[in-house]
């Protein structure tokens, strides 16, 4: 990266009243249970959000019609403490395999029944002249903050 380009990221955290392994499984294995239905890029309104549980795995949505739309890839898989996802969704809300931003999610046990989830969406400078606009979108209350809150509720209310 050019030294003149300043890194741009968004950080959000949520505390979940559940054990770390359960929260990690909720985030990774049960993504379709909590992923906001309005947050999709495929043509189908009804879809299944899927995260393949391994380094190199796909992160994608599958429409009820069988169509698939990639979101990115799993870059780091370290259960139950960390997962890093490549986010390849452009400013036009379409899959762009050339765009490589990262969603780094860390799970920190604060107590036996309490886990802090720290999410950093970094590399937003790769959006070029759209970087600040995308940072503002991801930093807005209806984006990562709301998504983490919904995930926390799923982890606290539904056993995995």
How does pLDDT run across 37-74, given as a tens digit for each residue? 888 888 888 999 999 999 999 999 999 999 999 999 99
**pLDDT at res. 124:** 98
Determine the Cα–Cα distance for residues 52 and 56; give it in Å rounded to an integer: 8
* Cβ contact 16:114 at 8 Å: yes
Classify residue 3: in a domain, yes or no.
no
What region does 151 belong to: left with phi over 0, alpha with psi -120 to 50, or beta? alpha
CATH of the domain at 43: 3.30.530.20
For residue 42, what pLDDT is reported?
83
* pLDDT for the residue numbered 129: 96
Report the alpha-carbon distance of residue 107 to residue 31 in Å, rounded.
15
Does some domain include residue 2? Answer: no
- Does residue 22 form part of some domain? yes
Residue 1 lies in a domain: no
**Tell me, what's the pLDDT at 3?**
54
Length of the chain: 160
Residues of the chain with pLDDT under 50: 159-160
- In the chain, the number of structural domains is 1
Domain of residue 74 covers 9-157
Bridge partners, 121 (sequence order): 10, 103
Selection from 93, 88, 79, 90 nearest residue 129 by Cα: 90
């Amino acid at each position: 990266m050019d030294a003149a380009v300043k890194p741009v990221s968004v950080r959000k955290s949520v505390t979940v009243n559940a054990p770390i392994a359960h929260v990690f499984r909720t985030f990774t294995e049960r993504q379709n249970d909590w992923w906001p239905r309005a947050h999709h890029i495929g043509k189908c309104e009804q879809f299944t959000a899927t995260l393949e549980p391994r380094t190199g795995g796909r992160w994608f949505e599958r429409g009820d019609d069988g169509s698939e739309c990639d979101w990115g890839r799993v870059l780091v898989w370290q259960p139950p403490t960390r997962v890093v996802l490549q986010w390849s969704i452009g400013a036009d809300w379409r899959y762009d395999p050339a765009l490589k931003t990262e969603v780094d999610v860390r799970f920190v046990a604060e107590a036996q029944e309490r886990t802090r989830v720290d999410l950093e969406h970094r590399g937003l400078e790769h959006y070029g002249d759209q970087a600040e606009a995308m940072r503002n979108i991801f930093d807005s209350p209806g984006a990562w903050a709301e998504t983490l809150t919904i995930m926390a509720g799923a982890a606290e209310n539904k056993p995995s």
